[in-house]
Amino acid sequence: MMIFYAVLFIGFFLIAIILRYYRNLFYAIAEGSLSVVNQLLSDEAEEQKVVEVQHHTNKLLVVLLKLILLLVVAIGIGSVPVFIYSFFADQNLKELEFFTFYPILAISLGATLAFFIPLGAQNKNGYSELSRLLHRMALNNYYLENRLFKYELRKNRSKKTKPKELFIVVSGLARAGTTSLMNDLAKIDEFVTLGYANMPFLLAPNLWKKLYKPKNEATKERSHNDGIMIGLNSNEALEEYFFKVKAKDSYIDDNCLSEYEITPEDYNDYLDYQSLIKQDDPKTYLAKNNNFLLRYKSVRKFNNDFLMVILFRHPLTHAMSLLEKHRDYKKLQNDDPFVLEYMNWLGHHEFGLNQKAFKFSASPEFDDPDKDNLDYWLQSWINYYSYVLTIRHENTLVINYEHYCSDPKNTIGRILAKAGISAPVPDYPSFVNNRKGTENYSEVLLQTAEQIYQQLNDSTPF
């Protein structure tokens, strides 16, 4: 009988290991089922909705057929040891006992052991397979996320909380020091901001908070390798997902992010979204959003009170930093495609395989589209900060990154004063960020960039 138990163990081990190896089919079933629900919740015209629902249903049916085929194959392979045992033991299958204690124990052990065998590459970025599945299910389904947002909004309005017109957005071209500035501001107990704890249900912050309360305070250096430590309770630039959902990615083109206007309804929803994040807290909403310039002018039409803080740094060192990160992230995203998925979800197209330039109303075509060339990043700098020079408003501050590094306390103090916020300012240590590079670049481009740099310096009160 021990041989029979061993045969059952091996057979069900094989079934379990095959199903586990092709576990992505089970994940695809979960994702596909939710995508059908997402399309049913869409606000598209009925004819288009039917087409989309049918499309996603067909994709789901294909996955279901593959899963059925997999189950048949797995059970067939797992049955082979049992048939061999039956043949050589000269026993009819009907005579074998499968449902007594020891056979059930052998089956259980075989099926369980399969889940302790390591399969695939080791997870290095902290996101387990189930965590990745949850992120895909939440962030890929805009209509579902928007429905959750509206649900939270109805609950919040019953509290009769009034949206606050004053909020602060820290922005700039990536690698301008915006994360450091946001984190320094967030240390003051007058601000509320989004953070990693809000992932992945970004539009339902309070509902998700009831289900997920991270207690792990451990931190690690972020993937930028720039000394900034992050953890589950760290602040992060996450509000762009709100605008992606509202605009249905209409401003995200194949090669660029285009300037656009938000609707009055979306602006009011944006203020309500801030209220959801703050709950009943009278503090000020703070966000870091490097894409905010795409909709800055239309938001400013609705609101003269919000404070926009735009950081800039010397174009050559800035461009070298961008090029370095672009190369790093291309490798990172090739090694782990989930990193690319993650950045696309959050509208982070600053560098990497899906890097996109900003396209404003008067943006020129880039002379050199080679993103591994420093000139591309100098052109990106010129394009972005030429547009910044067209912004003139008393509540838009343009700050030199080098000045912020050398005197962060004074910089933070002036931002608070401009916002009319009275709070003690911590003694932030000054820091130096010198960057040297050996890349070739166009002297003409650098000269143009340095002229813009000087104009930005002339326009800043800092």
Give the tens place of pLDDT for each residue, 349-360: 999 999 999 999
The pLDDT-based confidence of 119 (bands split at 50, 70, 90) is confident
Determine which of 303-312, 416-425, 443-452 has the lowest per-residue pLDDT on average. 416-425
pLDDT above 70 coverage of the chain, percent: 91
Determine which of 97-106, 147-156, 158-167, 437-446 has the lowest per-residue pLDDT on average. 158-167
Q: What is the pLDDT of residue 368?
A: 66
Determine which of 150-164, 250-264, 400-414 has the lowest per-residue pLDDT on average. 150-164
159 has a pLDDT exceeding 80: no
Q: What is the pLDDT of residue 81?
A: 92
Give Cα separations from 242 to 140, 238, 248, 270, 399 (angstroms).
Answer: 13, 8, 10, 8, 26
| Arithmetic mean of pLDDT, 436-449 | 87
CA nearest neighbour of 314 among 228, 377, 397: 377
Give the tens place of pLDDT for each residue, 294-324: 999 999 999 999 999 999 999 999 999 999 9
Give the burial string for 278-300 (b: 16+ CB within 10 Å, else e): beeeeebbbbbbbbbbbbbbbbe
Give the tens place of pLDDT for each residue, 56-98: 999 999 999 999 999 999 999 999 998 998 888 778 877 788 8
> Which residue segments constitute the domains of the chain, with CATH numbers given?
2-116 (no CATH), 166-459 (3.40.50)
Q: CA 379, CA 324: separation in Å to the nearest integer?
A: 16
pLDDT above 90 coverage of the chain, percent: 69
Give the tens place of pLDDT for each residue, 221-270: 545 554 555 555 677 889 999 999 999 999 999 889 999 999 999 999 99
H or E, element range at 158: none
Burial (CB < 10 A; 0-12, 13-18, 19+), residue 260, is middle
| Arithmetic mean of pLDDT, 182-194 | 92
* Residue that wins the pLDDT comparison between 302 and 369: 302
Cα 291 from chain centroid (whole Å) = 13
Q: What is the pLDDT of residue 123?
A: 62
Pairing label, strands 167-172, 307-312: parallel
> pTM score, two decimals?
0.89
The string of DSSP letters for 427-460 reads -PPP------------HHHHHHHHHHHHHHHHH-
CA nearest neighbour of 389 among 341, 333, 289, 456: 456
131 has a pLDDT exceeding 80: yes
Is 389 within 8 Å of 460 (Cβ atoms)? no
Q: What is the pLDDT of residue 122?
A: 57
- Ranked by mean pLDDT, the top range of 5-9, 230-234, 296-300, 390-394 is 296-300
Long-range contacts made by residues 270-275, C-beta under 8 angstroms, separation at least 24? 270/242, 270/243, 270/246, 270/299, 271/163, 271/164, 271/165, 272/153, 272/156, 272/163, 273/149, 273/203, 273/239, 273/242, 274/163, 274/164, 274/167, 275/156, 275/161, 275/162, 275/163, 275/164
